[in-house]
Amino acid sequence: MPNTLRMVLLIAGYALYVVFVMPLRLLASLLKRSPEAVLLFKPSMHGIAVEHRARGEALRLVYDWASGMGLLLTLQGQLVKKSRPGTLRGYVLSMAASLKTYMESRGYAVRVMFKEVFGGEPFAVVEVKRKNLLPRISEIISRVL
């Protein structure tokens, strides 16, 4: 009898774990705010190149912003803006600030990091996240259903 009681308690404990703990862990992992887009503004031979890793609506907004700024899409997937040499630091900063303003007006949280490489070439990293998590949760639920 004790072995069957132990087995029943073990099965009941596992069932409670599956019913309550696993969905909470899944929901917690969904609520982590991963970036919707990460963009790298850097000097190139033709001016300023913007490499991007974006998805969903953020990708569409990045392309909208890029077309408004006059950037061209290359075959490698980079967005390029031709500029004069020598003004790259200010240009990189102004483009990153422009994207930050644009994405914040669309309801995204944006973080801009400006760095310089040893050669003196400036680059900016822009990280874009959603402010409100409700659209992301509803998007995931709609994919599942």
Give pLDDT, residue 84. 65
Give pLDDT, residue 31. 65
Nearest to 81 by CA among 45, 52, 117, 55: 45
Instruction: For residue range 81-138, list pLDDT tens digits in order.
Output: 776 666 677 778 888 888 899 988 888 888 898 887 766 777 888 888 877 666 667 7
Length of the chain: 145
Whether residue 52 sits in one domain with residue 90: yes
Highest mean pLDDT among 38-42, 75-79, 133-137: 38-42
Whether residue 48 sits in one domain with residue 16: no
Whether residue 64 sits in one domain with residue 1: no
Instruction: For residue range 52-66, list pLDDT tens digits in order.
Output: 788 888 888 888 888
Question: What domain range includes position 79?
Answer: 37-136
Whether residue 21 sits in one domain with residue 71: no
- 9 sits in which H/E element: helix 2-16
Number of structural domains (the chain) is 2
Global pTM value? 0.64
Whether residue 132 sits in one domain with residue 112: yes
Q: How far apart are CA 87 and CA 91, in angstroms?
A: 6
